Structure 1
Protein backbone atom coordinates (compact mmCIF):
# COMPACT_ATOMS: atom_id res chain seq x y z
CA UNK A 1 0.00 0.00 0.00
CA UNK A 2 1.32 3.44 -0.95
CA UNK A 3 1.02 6.20 1.61
CA UNK A 4 2.55 9.53 2.54
CA UNK A 5 4.84 10.08 5.49
CA UNK A 6 6.45 13.25 6.72
CA UNK A 7 10.23 13.23 7.34
CA UNK A 8 10.79 15.38 10.41
CA UNK A 9 14.08 17.03 9.47
CA UNK A 10 15.50 18.91 12.43
CA UNK A 11 13.33 17.03 14.94
CA UNK A 12 14.51 17.43 18.52
CA UNK A 13 13.56 15.36 21.54
CA UNK A 14 11.91 18.32 23.22
CA UNK A 15 9.50 18.60 20.29
CA UNK A 16 7.73 15.41 21.41
CA UNK A 17 8.97 14.51 24.89
CA UNK A 18 6.13 13.71 27.28
CA UNK A 19 5.69 16.16 30.20
CA UNK A 20 5.97 13.31 32.72
CA UNK A 21 9.32 12.34 31.16
CA UNK A 22 10.54 15.93 31.48
CA UNK A 23 9.53 16.09 35.13
CA UNK A 24 10.99 12.70 36.08
CA UNK A 25 14.26 13.42 34.24
CA UNK A 26 14.61 16.75 36.04
CA UNK A 27 14.18 14.95 39.36
CA UNK A 28 16.90 12.41 38.53
CA UNK A 29 19.32 15.12 37.46
CA UNK A 30 19.10 16.57 40.96
CA UNK A 31 20.86 13.46 42.33
CA UNK A 32 24.55 14.47 42.47
CA UNK A 33 27.04 12.39 40.50
CA UNK A 34 24.54 9.85 39.18
CA UNK A 35 25.05 10.65 35.50
CA UNK A 36 28.85 10.69 35.81
CA UNK A 37 28.95 7.42 37.76
CA UNK A 38 26.99 5.49 35.16
CA UNK A 39 28.72 7.04 32.16
CA UNK A 40 32.30 6.73 33.41
CA UNK A 41 32.20 3.59 35.57
CA UNK A 42 29.44 1.37 34.24
CA UNK A 43 29.08 2.58 30.65
CA UNK A 44 32.33 1.39 29.01
CA UNK A 45 32.17 -2.09 30.57
CA UNK A 46 28.48 -2.52 29.75
CA UNK A 47 29.00 -1.38 26.14
CA UNK A 48 31.75 -3.92 25.54
CA UNK A 49 29.86 -6.72 27.28
CA UNK A 50 26.64 -6.21 25.30
CA UNK A 51 28.51 -5.76 22.01
CA UNK A 52 30.25 -9.10 22.46
CA UNK A 53 27.02 -10.77 23.56
CA UNK A 54 25.12 -9.47 20.53
CA UNK A 55 27.82 -10.41 18.03
CA UNK A 56 28.06 -13.89 19.53
CA UNK A 57 24.39 -14.73 20.07
CA UNK A 58 22.24 -12.59 17.75
CA UNK A 59 21.88 -11.81 14.05
CA UNK A 60 23.07 -8.36 12.94
CA UNK A 61 20.55 -6.87 10.50
CA UNK A 62 21.89 -5.17 7.37
CA UNK A 63 21.50 -4.82 3.62
CA UNK A 64 22.56 -8.45 3.14
CA UNK A 65 20.91 -9.81 6.29
CA UNK A 66 17.14 -9.49 6.78
CA UNK A 67 16.99 -6.54 4.36
CA UNK A 68 13.27 -5.88 4.92
CA UNK A 69 13.92 -5.25 8.62
CA UNK A 70 16.91 -3.10 7.70
CA UNK A 71 14.72 -0.93 5.48
CA UNK A 72 12.15 -0.49 8.27
CA UNK A 73 15.00 0.75 10.48
CA UNK A 74 16.39 3.13 7.87
CA UNK A 75 12.97 4.57 7.04
CA UNK A 76 12.19 5.19 10.71
CA UNK A 77 15.58 6.84 11.24
CA UNK A 78 15.00 9.10 8.25
CA UNK A 79 11.64 10.24 9.58
CA UNK A 80 12.99 10.82 13.12
CA UNK A 81 16.18 12.48 11.80
CA UNK A 82 18.48 10.04 13.57
CA UNK A 83 21.62 8.12 12.61
CA UNK A 84 20.82 4.39 12.33
CA UNK A 85 22.02 2.26 15.25
CA UNK A 86 22.86 -1.42 14.95
CA UNK A 87 19.83 -3.70 14.91
CA UNK A 88 20.01 -7.30 16.14
CA UNK A 89 17.47 -10.12 16.06
CA UNK A 90 17.66 -12.63 18.90
CA UNK A 91 15.92 -15.99 19.28
CA UNK A 92 13.76 -15.70 22.39
CA UNK A 93 10.27 -16.93 23.39
CA UNK A 94 9.31 -13.74 25.28
CA UNK A 95 8.16 -10.87 22.98
CA UNK A 96 10.45 -7.95 23.77
CA UNK A 97 12.76 -5.30 22.34
CA UNK A 98 15.33 -3.15 24.07
CA UNK A 99 17.96 -0.48 23.49
CA UNK A 100 21.39 0.34 24.81
CA UNK A 101 23.39 3.52 24.22
CA UNK A 102 25.69 5.86 26.09
CA UNK A 103 24.97 8.99 24.09
CA UNK A 104 26.07 7.76 20.72
CA UNK A 105 28.72 5.14 21.51
CA UNK A 106 27.80 1.95 19.68
CA UNK A 107 24.03 2.26 20.15
CA UNK A 108 22.03 -0.84 19.31
CA UNK A 109 18.51 -2.26 19.33
CA UNK A 110 17.63 -5.91 19.96
CA UNK A 111 14.30 -7.44 18.90
CA UNK A 112 13.22 -10.93 19.94
CA UNK A 113 12.01 -13.34 17.28
CA UNK A 114 8.75 -13.97 19.16
CA UNK A 115 7.86 -10.28 18.87
CA UNK A 116 8.56 -10.27 15.13
CA UNK A 117 6.26 -13.28 14.69
CA UNK A 118 3.45 -11.44 16.48
CA UNK A 119 3.46 -8.17 14.53
CA UNK A 120 2.86 -6.83 11.02
CA UNK A 121 5.66 -4.91 9.23
CA UNK A 122 4.10 -1.55 10.17
CA UNK A 123 3.87 -2.64 13.79
CA UNK A 124 7.47 -3.85 13.74
CA UNK A 125 8.49 -0.41 12.53
CA UNK A 126 6.55 1.11 15.44
CA UNK A 127 8.59 -1.05 17.84
CA UNK A 128 11.84 -0.02 16.16
CA UNK A 129 10.82 3.64 16.32
CA UNK A 130 9.89 3.29 19.99
CA UNK A 131 13.43 2.07 20.69
CA UNK A 132 14.83 4.88 18.53
CA UNK A 133 12.92 7.22 20.83
CA UNK A 134 15.22 6.17 23.68
CA UNK A 135 18.20 7.18 21.54
CA UNK A 136 16.62 10.44 20.40
CA UNK A 137 15.82 11.41 23.99
CA UNK A 138 19.23 10.23 25.28
CA UNK A 139 17.68 7.90 27.84
CA UNK A 140 20.67 5.55 27.79
CA UNK A 141 22.42 6.58 31.01
CA UNK A 142 19.43 6.19 33.30
CA UNK A 143 18.14 3.11 31.46
CA UNK A 144 21.44 1.38 32.17
CA UNK A 145 21.30 2.14 35.86
CA UNK A 146 17.63 1.17 36.13
CA UNK A 147 18.31 -2.20 34.54
CA UNK A 148 21.26 -2.85 36.83
CA UNK A 149 19.31 -1.91 39.95
CA UNK A 150 16.42 -4.17 39.01
CA UNK A 151 18.88 -7.05 38.64
CA UNK A 152 20.86 -6.30 41.81
CA UNK A 153 18.29 -4.76 44.15
CA UNK A 154 19.21 -5.29 47.78
CA UNK A 155 22.70 -6.57 46.98
CA UNK A 156 24.42 -3.21 46.51
CA UNK A 157 27.17 -2.16 48.96
CA UNK A 158 25.53 1.09 50.11
CA UNK A 159 22.58 -0.73 51.65
CA UNK A 160 19.22 -2.09 50.66
CA UNK A 161 17.31 0.97 51.88
CA UNK A 162 19.18 3.42 49.67
CA UNK A 163 19.09 1.00 46.74
CA UNK A 164 15.32 0.55 47.11
CA UNK A 165 14.70 4.29 47.19
CA UNK A 166 16.83 4.83 44.09
CA UNK A 167 15.20 1.90 42.33
CA UNK A 168 11.73 3.32 43.03
CA UNK A 169 12.70 6.69 41.58
CA UNK A 170 14.35 5.12 38.53
CA UNK A 171 11.36 2.88 37.82
CA UNK A 172 9.10 5.92 37.98
CA UNK A 173 11.39 7.64 35.47
CA UNK A 174 11.45 4.60 33.16
CA UNK A 175 7.66 4.44 33.06
CA UNK A 176 7.49 8.15 32.20
CA UNK A 177 10.20 7.80 29.53
CA UNK A 178 8.16 5.10 27.79
CA UNK A 179 5.45 7.64 26.99
CA UNK A 180 7.98 9.72 25.03
CA UNK A 181 9.10 6.66 23.10
CA UNK A 182 5.53 5.74 22.21
CA UNK A 183 5.26 9.24 20.73
CA UNK A 184 8.39 8.53 18.65
CA UNK A 185 6.68 5.38 17.39
CA UNK A 186 3.67 7.45 16.33
CA UNK A 187 5.85 10.04 14.60
CA UNK A 188 7.55 7.31 12.58
CA UNK A 189 4.44 5.35 11.62
CA UNK A 190 2.14 8.41 11.58
CA UNK A 191 -0.77 6.09 12.36
CA UNK A 192 -2.01 5.92 15.97
CA UNK A 193 -3.89 2.67 15.31
CA UNK A 194 -0.62 0.94 14.42
CA UNK A 195 0.96 1.95 17.73
CA UNK A 196 -2.14 1.03 19.72
CA UNK A 197 -2.30 -2.32 17.94
CA UNK A 198 1.24 -3.14 19.09
CA UNK A 199 0.22 -2.41 22.67
CA UNK A 200 -2.91 -4.54 22.34
CA UNK A 201 -0.89 -7.49 21.05
CA UNK A 202 1.66 -7.12 23.84
CA UNK A 203 -1.21 -7.20 26.34
CA UNK A 204 -3.00 -10.27 25.02
CA UNK A 205 -1.81 -11.34 21.62
CA UNK A 206 -0.25 -14.41 20.08
CA UNK A 207 0.44 -15.40 16.48
CA UNK A 208 -2.82 -17.40 16.45
CA UNK A 209 -4.96 -14.76 18.19
CA UNK A 210 -3.62 -11.62 16.51
CA UNK A 211 -6.06 -11.62 13.59
CA UNK A 212 -9.05 -11.92 15.94
CA UNK A 213 -8.20 -8.97 18.18
CA UNK A 214 -10.43 -5.86 18.03
CA UNK A 215 -8.57 -2.57 18.42
CA UNK A 216 -11.69 -0.47 19.04
CA UNK A 217 -12.68 -2.79 21.88
CA UNK A 218 -9.18 -2.45 23.34
CA UNK A 219 -9.40 1.35 23.26
CA UNK A 220 -12.78 1.10 25.00
CA UNK A 221 -11.06 -1.05 27.60
CA UNK A 222 -8.54 1.76 28.11
CA UNK A 223 -11.39 4.17 28.85
CA UNK A 224 -12.75 1.70 31.40
CA UNK A 225 -9.35 1.69 33.09
CA UNK A 226 -9.63 5.47 33.43
CA UNK A 227 -12.96 5.11 35.22
CA UNK A 228 -11.24 3.32 38.12
CA UNK A 229 -9.36 6.52 38.98
CA UNK A 230 -12.54 8.40 39.82
CA UNK A 231 -12.37 7.34 43.48
CA UNK A 232 -9.44 7.38 45.89
CA UNK A 233 -9.34 3.62 46.48
CA UNK A 234 -9.17 2.90 42.76
CA UNK A 235 -6.32 5.36 42.28
CA UNK A 236 -4.36 3.90 45.21
CA UNK A 237 -4.83 0.38 43.85
CA UNK A 238 -3.55 1.45 40.43
CA UNK A 239 -0.47 3.08 41.97
CA UNK A 240 0.29 -0.01 44.08
CA UNK A 241 -0.07 -2.35 41.10
CA UNK A 242 2.27 -0.34 38.86
CA UNK A 243 4.95 0.80 41.36
CA UNK A 244 7.38 -2.02 40.47
CA UNK A 245 6.72 -2.11 36.74
CA UNK A 246 9.27 -0.95 34.16
CA UNK A 247 6.52 0.06 31.70
CA UNK A 248 3.13 1.73 32.09
CA UNK A 249 0.28 -0.74 31.61
CA UNK A 250 -0.61 -1.22 27.91
CA UNK A 251 -4.11 0.27 28.10
CA UNK A 252 -2.73 3.47 29.62
CA UNK A 253 -0.10 3.75 26.89
CA UNK A 254 -2.74 3.20 24.20
CA UNK A 255 -4.95 5.90 25.73
CA UNK A 256 -2.03 8.35 25.88
CA UNK A 257 -1.05 7.83 22.24
CA UNK A 258 -4.68 8.07 21.14
CA UNK A 259 -4.99 11.43 22.89
CA UNK A 260 -1.68 12.82 21.60
CA UNK A 261 -2.49 11.86 18.01
CA UNK A 262 -5.41 14.32 18.17
CA UNK A 263 -3.39 17.15 19.70
CA UNK A 264 -2.29 20.37 18.02
CA UNK A 265 1.32 19.60 19.01
CA UNK A 266 1.32 16.36 17.02
CA UNK A 267 -0.35 17.94 14.00
CA UNK A 268 2.20 20.78 14.05
CA UNK A 269 5.05 18.28 13.89
CA UNK A 270 3.62 16.84 10.70
CA UNK A 271 3.52 20.20 8.92
CA UNK A 272 6.63 19.45 6.92
CA UNK A 273 7.36 18.03 3.45
CA UNK A 274 5.55 14.71 2.89
CA UNK A 275 7.15 11.97 0.82
CA UNK A 276 5.72 8.74 -0.47
CA UNK A 277 6.79 5.36 0.86
CA UNK A 278 9.23 4.96 -2.05
CA UNK A 279 10.90 8.32 -1.35
CA UNK A 280 9.20 10.39 -4.09
CA UNK A 281 8.60 13.99 -3.04
CA UNK A 282 4.90 14.86 -3.33
CA UNK A 283 4.72 18.45 -2.17
CA UNK A 284 6.87 21.34 -1.09
CA UNK A 285 7.17 22.72 2.38
CA UNK A 286 9.60 23.14 5.24
CA UNK A 287 10.24 22.17 8.79
CA UNK A 288 8.16 24.20 11.19
CA UNK A 289 10.24 25.73 14.00
CA UNK A 290 8.26 26.30 17.18
Structure 2
Protein backbone atom coordinates (compact mmCIF):
# COMPACT_ATOMS: atom_id res chain seq x y z
CA UNK A 1 0.00 0.00 0.00
CA UNK A 2 1.44 3.37 -0.98
CA UNK A 3 0.25 6.73 0.11
CA UNK A 4 0.95 10.05 -1.52
CA UNK A 5 2.15 12.88 0.68
CA UNK A 6 0.31 16.18 0.48
CA UNK A 7 2.23 19.45 0.55
CA UNK A 8 0.74 21.82 3.11
CA UNK A 9 1.79 25.05 1.41
CA UNK A 10 1.05 28.12 3.50
CA UNK A 11 0.38 26.05 6.62
CA UNK A 12 0.38 28.12 9.81
CA UNK A 13 0.56 26.73 13.31
CA UNK A 14 -2.87 28.08 14.21
CA UNK A 15 -4.37 25.85 11.52
CA UNK A 16 -3.39 22.64 13.31
CA UNK A 17 -2.90 23.56 16.95
CA UNK A 18 -4.95 21.81 19.56
CA UNK A 19 -7.34 24.28 21.28
CA UNK A 20 -5.74 23.66 24.68
CA UNK A 21 -2.30 24.40 23.20
CA UNK A 22 -3.61 27.64 21.70
CA UNK A 23 -5.15 28.69 25.00
CA UNK A 24 -2.14 27.75 27.14
CA UNK A 25 0.35 29.40 24.77
CA UNK A 26 -1.74 32.57 24.64
CA UNK A 27 -1.63 32.70 28.44
CA UNK A 28 2.17 32.53 28.32
CA UNK A 29 2.33 35.15 25.55
CA UNK A 30 0.29 37.52 27.71
CA UNK A 31 2.94 37.63 30.45
CA UNK A 32 4.35 41.15 29.94
CA UNK A 33 7.89 41.40 28.64
CA UNK A 34 8.86 37.79 29.17
CA UNK A 35 8.77 36.83 25.50
CA UNK A 36 11.11 39.73 24.75
CA UNK A 37 13.48 38.70 27.55
CA UNK A 38 13.63 35.10 26.36
CA UNK A 39 14.19 35.94 22.70
CA UNK A 40 16.66 38.79 23.16
CA UNK A 41 18.52 38.15 26.40
CA UNK A 42 18.52 34.42 26.98
CA UNK A 43 18.21 33.42 23.33
CA UNK A 44 21.69 34.31 22.07
CA UNK A 45 23.44 32.62 24.99
CA UNK A 46 21.28 29.49 24.93
CA UNK A 47 21.53 29.09 21.17
CA UNK A 48 25.32 29.45 21.27
CA UNK A 49 25.62 26.95 24.12
CA UNK A 50 23.49 24.33 22.36
CA UNK A 51 25.21 24.94 19.02
CA UNK A 52 28.61 24.28 20.59
CA UNK A 53 27.26 21.25 22.45
CA UNK A 54 25.79 19.81 19.25
CA UNK A 55 28.85 20.29 17.09
CA UNK A 56 31.09 18.79 19.77
CA UNK A 57 28.89 15.85 20.82
CA UNK A 58 26.74 14.96 17.82
CA UNK A 59 26.85 14.27 14.10
CA UNK A 60 25.23 16.91 11.92
CA UNK A 61 23.06 15.39 9.20
CA UNK A 62 23.61 16.71 5.67
CA UNK A 63 23.28 15.58 2.08
CA UNK A 64 26.81 14.16 2.41
CA UNK A 65 26.59 12.79 5.94
CA UNK A 66 23.72 10.42 6.68
CA UNK A 67 21.98 11.41 3.42
CA UNK A 68 19.03 9.05 4.02
CA UNK A 69 18.12 11.05 7.15
CA UNK A 70 18.72 14.32 5.34
CA UNK A 71 16.25 13.26 2.64
CA UNK A 72 13.61 12.51 5.30
CA UNK A 73 14.18 15.93 6.88
CA UNK A 74 14.02 17.82 3.58
CA UNK A 75 10.81 16.06 2.57
CA UNK A 76 9.15 16.67 5.95
CA UNK A 77 10.09 20.36 5.82
CA UNK A 78 8.70 20.64 2.29
CA UNK A 79 5.43 18.99 3.33
CA UNK A 80 5.02 21.20 6.42
CA UNK A 81 6.15 24.36 4.60
CA UNK A 82 8.94 25.01 7.07
CA UNK A 83 12.55 26.08 6.67
CA UNK A 84 15.00 23.29 7.29
CA UNK A 85 16.53 23.24 10.78
CA UNK A 86 19.80 21.54 11.57
CA UNK A 87 19.45 17.86 12.43
CA UNK A 88 21.93 16.22 14.80
CA UNK A 89 22.34 12.58 15.77
CA UNK A 90 23.60 11.99 19.29
CA UNK A 91 24.91 8.74 20.73
CA UNK A 92 22.60 8.00 23.65
CA UNK A 93 21.10 4.83 25.13
CA UNK A 94 17.68 6.36 25.85
CA UNK A 95 15.41 6.71 22.78
CA UNK A 96 14.44 10.37 22.45
CA UNK A 97 14.25 13.33 20.11
CA UNK A 98 13.93 17.00 20.92
CA UNK A 99 14.08 20.41 19.35
CA UNK A 100 15.25 23.84 20.39
CA UNK A 101 14.73 27.31 18.99
CA UNK A 102 14.49 30.45 21.06
CA UNK A 103 15.08 33.15 18.48
CA UNK A 104 14.56 30.99 15.43
CA UNK A 105 18.04 31.75 14.14
CA UNK A 106 19.59 28.34 14.77
CA UNK A 107 16.72 25.91 15.25
CA UNK A 108 17.74 22.30 15.52
CA UNK A 109 16.47 18.81 16.13
CA UNK A 110 18.44 16.15 17.99
CA UNK A 111 17.66 12.46 17.62
CA UNK A 112 19.29 9.79 19.75
CA UNK A 113 20.95 6.82 18.08
CA UNK A 114 18.91 4.41 20.19
CA UNK A 115 15.69 5.88 18.75
CA UNK A 116 16.94 5.52 15.19
CA UNK A 117 17.81 1.88 15.85
CA UNK A 118 14.19 1.15 16.81
CA UNK A 119 12.42 2.83 13.90
CA UNK A 120 11.78 2.30 10.21
CA UNK A 121 12.38 5.26 7.83
CA UNK A 122 8.69 6.30 7.76
CA UNK A 123 8.64 6.27 11.56
CA UNK A 124 11.82 8.33 11.72
CA UNK A 125 10.21 10.86 9.40
CA UNK A 126 7.15 10.95 11.66
CA UNK A 127 9.40 11.79 14.62
CA UNK A 128 11.12 14.50 12.56
CA UNK A 129 7.70 15.90 11.58
CA UNK A 130 6.63 15.86 15.24
CA UNK A 131 9.69 17.93 16.18
CA UNK A 132 9.11 20.25 13.21
CA UNK A 133 5.61 20.82 14.56
CA UNK A 134 7.13 22.09 17.80
CA UNK A 135 9.34 24.46 15.78
CA UNK A 136 6.40 25.68 13.70
CA UNK A 137 4.41 26.38 16.88
CA UNK A 138 7.32 28.17 18.59
CA UNK A 139 6.99 25.82 21.56
CA UNK A 140 10.69 26.12 22.42
CA UNK A 141 10.36 29.81 23.23
CA UNK A 142 7.53 29.31 25.67
CA UNK A 143 8.92 26.18 27.27
CA UNK A 144 12.16 28.06 27.99
CA UNK A 145 10.17 31.01 29.31
CA UNK A 146 8.09 28.82 31.59
CA UNK A 147 11.12 26.97 32.93
CA UNK A 148 12.84 30.27 33.72
CA UNK A 149 9.81 31.35 35.74
CA UNK A 150 10.07 28.20 37.83
CA UNK A 151 13.81 28.63 38.39
CA UNK A 152 13.51 32.32 39.24
CA UNK A 153 10.66 31.81 41.67
CA UNK A 154 12.49 28.98 43.43
CA UNK A 155 15.67 31.04 43.82
CA UNK A 156 14.55 34.60 44.39
CA UNK A 157 11.09 34.73 45.93
CA UNK A 158 10.05 34.08 49.53
CA UNK A 159 8.35 30.70 49.63
CA UNK A 160 9.87 30.22 46.19
CA UNK A 161 9.82 26.44 46.45
CA UNK A 162 6.04 26.42 46.85
CA UNK A 163 5.58 28.88 44.01
CA UNK A 164 7.98 26.91 41.81
CA UNK A 165 6.09 23.70 42.53
CA UNK A 166 2.81 25.33 41.51
CA UNK A 167 4.36 26.82 38.37
CA UNK A 168 5.93 23.50 37.51
CA UNK A 169 2.50 21.87 37.58
CA UNK A 170 1.18 24.54 35.22
CA UNK A 171 4.18 24.12 32.93
CA UNK A 172 3.68 20.37 32.76
CA UNK A 173 0.05 21.02 31.85
CA UNK A 174 1.18 23.33 29.04
CA UNK A 175 3.69 20.73 27.83
CA UNK A 176 0.88 18.16 27.63
CA UNK A 177 -1.24 20.65 25.68
CA UNK A 178 1.67 21.29 23.29
CA UNK A 179 2.04 17.55 22.78
CA UNK A 180 -1.65 17.31 21.81
CA UNK A 181 -0.76 19.52 18.85
CA UNK A 182 2.37 17.76 17.69
TM-score (norm 2): 0.91
* Structure 2 SS opposite 1:28: helix
Question: Compared with structure 1, are the counterparts of its residues 10 and 37 closer, same or farther at alpha carbon in structure 2 (3 Å cutoff)?
Answer: same
* Structure 1 SS opposite 2:138: coil
CA shift for structure 1 position 156: 2.3
CA shift for structure 1 position 143: 2.0
TM-superposition CA deviations, 1:16-75 (whole Å, max 9, x none)? 110110111122223222212222222111100000000000000000100000000000
Question: Compared with structure 1, are the counterparts of its residues 164 and 153 closer, same or farther at alpha carbon in structure 2 (3 Å cutoff)?
Answer: farther
* Structure 1 SS opposite 2:107: strand
Asked if structure 2 preserves the Cα contact closer than 8 Å seen for 1:100 and 1:144, the reply is no
CA shift for structure 1 position 147: 5.2
Q: Hey, what does 2:180 align to over in structure 1? A: 179
| Structure 1 Cα separation of the partners of residues 145 and 50 of structure 2 | 14
Q: After superposition, where does 1:189-268 map in structure 2 within 5 Å?
A: none
Q: Hey, what does 1:120 align to over in structure 2? A: 120
Q: After superposition, where does 1:10-29 map in structure 2 within 5 Å?
A: 10-29=10-29
Q: Hey, what does 1:163 align to over in structure 2? A: 164
Q: Number of matched residues? A: 180
TM-superposition CA deviations, 1:145-188 (whole Å, max 9, x none)? 345677x587522322332232222221111011111xxxxxxx
Asked if 1:59 is matched to 2:59, the reply is yes
Q: Hey, what does 1:99 align to over in structure 2? A: 99
TM-superposition CA deviations, 1:239-284 (whole Å, max 9, x none)? xxxxxxxxxxxxxxxxxxxxxxxxxxxxxxxxxxxxxxxxxxxxxx
| Structure 2 Cα separation of the partners of residues 75 and 19 of structure 1 | 27
Asked if structure 2 preserves the Cα contact closer than 8 Å seen for 1:146 and 1:171, the reply is no
| Structure 2 Cα separation of the partners of residues 132 and 37 of structure 1 | 24
| Structure 1 Cα separation of the partners of residues 75 and 86 of structure 2 | 14
Question: Compared with structure 1, are the counterparts of its residues 61 and 148 closer, same or farther at alpha carbon in structure 2 (3 Å cutoff)?
Answer: farther
Unpaired stretches in structure 1, ≥5 consecutive residues:
182-290
Q: Which structure has more RCO (C-alpha within 8 Å, separation ≥ 6)?
A: 2
